[in-house]
Amino acid sequence: MSAKEDILKYLGEKSHEGALQSELYELGYSRSTIVEAIESLEFEKRIVRREVGKKAYRIWLVEEAPFPIKGLLRLGVLKAVEYPHALLTARDLEKKYDVRVIVYNSALELTNALALGKVDLACSPLVTQVLFGLLTKNLK
């Protein structure tokens, strides 16, 4: 595997928590190789990096970042026929934004992703959102 693939795999395991850049040096590659791979992945818009200290950075996969990303719209939808309008809207928004449609298998997964900030918009049943909000106090 290449450094890029190892970094993506490692970040996938970390999910929405992300990883400090210093943790990636433990993957067995030189610092310069890690830095080059990170810069390349950032340019490809596959990862996002945020400064968390003077010289510390936290890195996430774009799909897992728990905050909005400028110029990117992450739309979460269910595998259901009730949401074709969401896909049509996403296609229209592609002219102005980088739109990523993320398909979820369950409404609970999607609502949790919305609560964690992993998606910017979500098309899920209102009942699920209300129950999730009551049970976890995460949605307002």
CATH number of the domain encompassing residue 36: 1.10.10.10
Residue with tokens 């739109």: 99
When divided into structural domains, the chain yields a total of 2
Question: Residue 97: what pLDDT?
Answer: 85
Which structural domain range is residue 132 located in? 72-136
Complete edge-to-edge strand list for the sheet that includes strand 47-51: 19-20, 57-61, 47-51
**Co-location of 128 and 97 in the same domain:** yes
**Among residues 11, 57, 61, 3, which one has the least CA distance to residue 33?**
3
CB-facing half-sphere around the CA of 57: CA atoms within 13 A:
14
User: How much is the pTM?
Assistant: 0.78
Per-residue pLDDT of the chain (140 residues; tens, 9 = 90+): 799 999 999 999 998 899 999 999 999 999 999 999 999 999 999 999 999 988 899 999 998 999 999 889 898 888 876 777 778 888 888 888 888 988 899 888 888 888 888 999 888 887 777 777 777 775 55
Question: Residue 139: what pLDDT?
Answer: 52
67 is a domain residue: no
**Among residues 126, 61, 49, which one has the least CA distance to residue 100?**
61
91 is a domain residue: yes
**Among residues 73, 109, 79, which one has the least CA distance to residue 94?**
73
Name the token pair of 120. Answer: 């910017």
Question: Whole-angstrom distance between the N-terminal and C-terminal Cα of the chain?
Answer: 43
Question: Residue 132: what pLDDT?
Answer: 77
**Distance from C-alpha of 51 to C-alpha of 57, rounded to nearest angstrom:** 4
Question: Residue 35: what pLDDT?
Answer: 93
37 is a domain residue: yes
90 is a domain residue: yes
